[in-house]
Structure 1
Amino acid sequence: MRLIKATLENKALLKNLYSFYLHDLSAYSSSLKPNSEGEFEFDSFEKIWERDGITPYLLKQNQEVIGFCLLLEPPFTKKVDYCINDLFIYNQFRGRGYAEEAIKTIFQEKQGSYYVCQLKNNKRAVGFWKKFYEQHHIAYEESIELEDGEEVLYQTFSSKNMIVR
């Protein structure tokens, strides 16, 4: 699995990936609805290409795109260095360790303090992150916040000096 920075050439591809990602999230949030063309849209999508501090990555297995990750850093992160804001893998590639591999690659390249968040009722995502922390002996602090009427779990931790294999 390779993690490749997305460029403007990948804009249409990333927009399509976001639609699938938001479709999946709509199972856990009543506020996510398709537009009049039947697509799920990320309302701040254009900011990815216009603002510093937002880095989109494509996840590739061989030459095939299997998902994406969106990494935030200052000025979007205030109390930590980085945020893994969104992480998506097509259904057919899930459960093969690709998400874990992508996260470990990011941690190796960008050591520092992080936060990640999941919708509280998205048990699959919550379970994935908790398992990741446990397997890699990551101490984290967790809080619950209400965002747009949804309960969101936030975990903060450090990747500094973490050994990732």
Structure 2
Amino acid sequence: MNVFLEKIGPDKKEILRNLYSLYLHDLSNYTKGLQISEDGSFEFDSFSLIWEKDGVTPYFMIVDEKLAGFVLILEAPFTTKVDKVINDFFILNPFRGKGVAKAAVSEIFAHNKGSYYISQLIKNQTAVHFWKKVYQQEGIAFVEQSEVQDGEEVVYQTFVIR
């Protein structure tokens, strides 16, 4: 299995928009804050900022030349306390449970050194367990805290990749 990250340009924004709707649909299992729009999709209200502002980098996850998901990484000016935020991380169902997510995270960390912040909705225990397993497998020492963000209970971890 060959997993790599491909930076997403504006020419492929509709593909990312479609994936975002699937991602938000999945997240709607854990929050009442996401509602389907009149056109039958879930919409990311700040989607246009991805290509309009510096500090936002989207990547497709590609597995053996097939689209497998996406990740959105934030940097300054969107974050001031850490270097990087893994803001959104999504794997399509056919690729789940096959090591794709772990391989994608390893790729992210190999090319993006620095301090990180990653949060999960507390109700999304699948995501919480995934990230803790990654930290354990990678030998990453992290600090974990909980808080309420936009009315949602989240748990987040901070750590440094050298």
Q: TM-score, normalised by structure 2?
A: 0.97
- Between the aligned partners of 2:77 and 2:134, the Cα distance in structure 1 is 27
- Between the aligned partners of 1:18 and 1:53, the Cα distance in structure 2 is 19
Task: Decide which moves more: 112-121 or 99-108.
Answer: 99-108
Match of residue 150 from structure 2: 148
Match of residue 163 from structure 1: none
Match of residue 120 from structure 1: 122
Please give the per-residue CA displacement for 1:129-162, whole angstroms capped at 9, x wherever unaligned. Answer: 01111111111111111112210111000011xx
Instruction: State the SS of the aligned residue for 1:36.
Output: coil
Match of residue 50 from structure 1: 52
- Between the aligned partners of 2:97 and 2:79, the Cα distance in structure 1 is 29
Match of residue 96 from structure 1: 98
- Between the aligned partners of 1:32 and 1:47, the Cα distance in structure 2 is 19
1:77 is aligned, of 79, 82, 85, to 79
Match of residue 9 from structure 2: 7
Match of residue 39 from structure 1: 41
Give the deviation of 1:9 after TM superposition: 1.1
Instruction: State the SS of the aligned residue for 1:141.
Output: strand
Match of residue 28 from structure 1: 30
Please give the per-residue CA displacement for 1:19-41, whole angstroms capped at 9, x wherever unaligned. Answer: 00000000000110110011000
Match of residue 87 from structure 1: 89
- Between the aligned partners of 2:114 and 2:132, the Cα distance in structure 1 is 19
Instruction: State the SS of the aligned residue for 2:36.
Output: coil
- Between the aligned partners of 1:48 and 1:129, the Cα distance in structure 2 is 24
- Between the aligned partners of 1:61 and 1:105, the Cα distance in structure 2 is 12
- Between the aligned partners of 2:110 and 2:135, the Cα distance in structure 1 is 15
Give the deviation of 1:118 after TM superposition: 0.3
Q: Which runs of 4+ in 1 moved over 3 A?
A: none
Please give the per-residue CA displacement for 1:39-80, whole angstroms capped at 9, x wherever unaligned. Answer: 000011000010000000001112211100000111111110
| Structure 1, gaps ≥5 residues long | 161-165
Instruction: State the SS of the aligned residue for 1:45.
Output: coil
Instruction: State the SS of the aligned residue for 2:127.
Output: helix
C-alpha RMSD over aligned residues = 0.7
